[in-house]
Structure 1
Amino acid sequence: MTFENLKPKVTEITSNSTISREEKLLKICELLSSSIDYYNWVGFYFAHPETQTLHLGPYVGAETDHTVIPFGKGICGQVAVSNTNFVVPDVAAQDNYIACSFTVKSEIVVPLFVNGENIGQIDIDSHVLDPFTEADERFLEFVNEEIAKLY
């Protein structure tokens, strides 16, 4: 399914008034994971500025021990500080990478802004080397813009 075909499905989920915000986030994870073959782990981390940590939210994929990540550590922690997208074509070549699984080959993290504040991020791991393009970045920015409306 193309990103353009997925956009209305994302909006349909975020607009659904009968389910909670957490359920909406999980449904978005499920949609992305099942619709894009190289999205092997899809999840959200949310910032706790007072402790300078990210906390795992809804996700789909293999279990992870990384439920709390300090700002600055790993790809997610770096995005919490930089406020910019981070695409890692090959995690083996990345110095500040927190290994989740030997099957993960690449990662993309896109920050989630609400009223100009980085409140978290969407994190996607792939078992494929270098699959993420600018189209993935633009689509995930769209996803986060839709999610921001929930806050």
Structure 2
Amino acid sequence: MNLEELKPQVSQILSEVSLEREIKLKNLCQFLSDNVDYYNWVGFYFANHENKTLHLGPYVGAETDHTVIPFGKGICGQVAESNANFVVPDVSAQDNYIACSFTVKSEIVVPLFVNGQNIGQIDIDSHVIDPFTEADERFLEFVNQEVAKLF
């Protein structure tokens, strides 16, 4: 499976004019989950900069209790502060990790920028240890560039 081959479909999903933004994002999460074997939970968190919290947006995968995450807490909270990608090859080796499920073995979080401001992030959990490569980072950066056009 080549991530590059998925890019046109990502753009197509997000350009569907008859759908609301939330539906486009949910469809995107489903598409990514369906087409990348090791993307087992795919979702978006959006920042509330006044309260310094992240709020769960559309996602696909197991339900999560983590609907609000303070900046700095967990992988997502750290990305809200660092504005940098964060790849966790093995969540059990990470001190500041918020456990969502015992099935989650690794995680990648890539910030979402609109007009230079980090407004949120895409968060992906995997049931496999260390599946994420630089290709995943570049692909998810592309995904977020496309998502940013919705804002």
- Aligned residue in 1 for 2:9: 9
Query: Aligned residue for 1:74?
Result: 74
2:85 is aligned with 1:85? yes
CA RMSD of aligned residues (A): 0.5
CA distance in 2, matches of 1:118, 1:43: 16
**Other-structure match for 2:19:** 19
Alignment of 1:16-55 (within 5 A): 16-55=16-55
| TM-aligned CA deviation for residue 14 of structure 1 | 1.1
Q: Report the AA paired with residue 62 of structure 1.
A: A
Runs of 4+ in 1 over 4 A off after TM superposition: none
Counterpart of 2:117 in structure 1 is 117
AA at the equivalent of 1:65: D
Deviation at residue 111 of structure 1 after TM alignment: 0.1
Describe the superposition over 1:20-76 as per-residue Cα deviations: whole angstroms up to 9, x where unpaired.
000010011000000000000000000000100000000000000000000000000
User: In 2, distance between residues paired with 1:8 and 1:21?
Assistant: 18
Aligned residue in 1 for 2:150: 150
Alpha-carbon distance between aligned partners in 2 of 1:138 and 1:97, rounded to the nearest angstrom:
23
Aligned match of 1:135: 135
| 2:110 aligned partner, one-letter code | V
Cα offset for 1:133?
A: 0.1
* TM-score (normalizing by structure 1): 0.99
Normalising by structure 2, report the TM-score.
Answer: 0.99
Distance 2:40 2:134 in 1: 18
SS in 2 for 1:111: strand
- AA at the equivalent of 2:150: L
Name the structure 2 match of 1:100. 100
Q: What is the aligned residue count?
A: 151
Structure 1 residue runs of 5 or longer lacking an equivalent are none
> 1:113 is matched by which residue type in structure 2?
F
Equivalent-residue separation in structure 2 for 1:4 and 1:120 (angstroms)? 23
- Residues 53-68 of structure 1 correspond to what in structure 2 (within 5 A)? 53-68=53-68
Write the deviation string for residues 114-145 of structure 1: whole angstroms up to 9, x where unpaired: 00000000000000000000000000000000
AA partner of residue 14 (structure 1): L
1:70-111 CA-to-partner distances (Å, cap 9, x unmatched) read 000000000000000000000000000000000000000000
Structure 2 unpaired stretches of 5+ = none
